Structure 1
Amino acid sequence: MTKGKGQTGEPTQVRAAAVLRWTEDMDNILLNAFSEEVTKGNRQDGSWTTEGYANVLEALRVAVSPTMTKQHIKNRMKTMKENFVEAYDLFRGLSGFAWSPATRRFEAEDHVWEELIKEKPHAAKWKKTQVKHYDTMKELFGAD
């Protein structure tokens, strides 16, 4: 089979192997591992120590996949943190809203939502979007 200019079969296979689809169970393992590192003192001044990352990586390699890399962890934490920060910054200090661990959403009366959405249209998505792991993320990153 002829390959196009600059194409080979191997890089696509390597990239496909590097793609990791995270599940909620994997997220739980990841966040629990980071929480454990906090209790060990492996997060200082808002940054993870080398030992902390190594411990988290080892926990994920044992529980999830032996091919897990530090980059997989960093990428997932970046995504999770971006979602958390958006919701945290929006709802922090707002009256009329309450976090519900059961539904994993911020809840409020309809008129309170309407007022917020009128002022900040981008907030509409949070009316129906869950913020998974909010409590744990708040413990890990709320002070950041």
Structure 2
Amino acid sequence: MIRTRHAIYLTQADDRILRRLAKERNQSRSAVVRKLLQTYKYIENLKEIEANNKIISGYLKEFTHIGTNINQIAYHLNANIIRHEEAKTDLEKSIIELIKKIEELSEKVKTLKIEINVEHTKTPSKVEEREDDGRAEI
């Protein structure tokens, strides 16, 4: 890993925040800034996960509707409200629809796999941390 040195200018308030974060985490200010930059990489992944969750939620809602239909068919079969042949046909249609929805969900889940490749950042040694103290450079 090639390291480059950058000087950034912070307001006094920003510098206090950075110092407080570094102290709370027992890390150098540089390490805190590097970790903050790493979190930016997760934003797109989180957006994609949220979109996938909405899709899965829609499928679960559809499965609930199909399950309700199957329960109603079973009720009618048990109550002899409709003819056996009609109920059998409705049940078969509902089961075929359920199988199709399951296959669609299975295919969609295969495309939802997200790989998160985040490079590990090395935490500076105590010597590097001492060298950083007293300077606003990172």
Give me the TM-score of the superposition, normalised by structure 2.
0.26
> Whose RCO is larger (CA < 8 A, sep 6+)?
2
- Determine which structure has the larger strand proportion and give its number: 1
Q: Which has the higher helix share?
A: 2
